[in-house]
Amino acid sequence: MAEYRMSEAQLQDAILELAELRGWLFFHDYDSRRNNPGWPDLFLLHPRTGEIVIAELKAARGRLSGDQKVWIAAFAVAGITVHVWRPIDLTNGQINRALTPGTAPSRTVVTCYPVERYL
């Protein structure tokens, strides 16, 4: 399947399959309509290393909402790893690297939004 045609749901399935193979525990709220808006799609925790990965998933042309940007900025202030992943990140190795236990930089924030803008 070409990455540019992969839906967000297909991306999530691929990530969760990889996460399971690598021993990650994960949470995804399958019905988020009653939650605060903007909470990221995936929360992953590796029980052996203690690594935490937070991921917001987007289709190739998907955009972050204002509420999602606020959550990403709040996680950044807390020093929590945040990823905004798209289908291209499956092929460029970014997701593979992030989900390889023991290789994630500790307390690193990956975001393209200035934190101060949302505080």
Confidence of residue 1 (pLDDT cuts 50, 70, 90): very low
Gap between the Cα atoms of 95 and 88, Å rounded = 9
pLDDT in tens, 25-73: 999 887 767 778 999 999 999 999 998 999 999 999 999 999 999 999 9
pLDDT for the residue numbered 9:
92
Six token digits for residue 12:
């999530």
Least-confidence region, from 26-30, 61-65, 80-84, 101-105: 101-105
Give 109's pLDDT tier (boundaries 50, 70, 90): very low
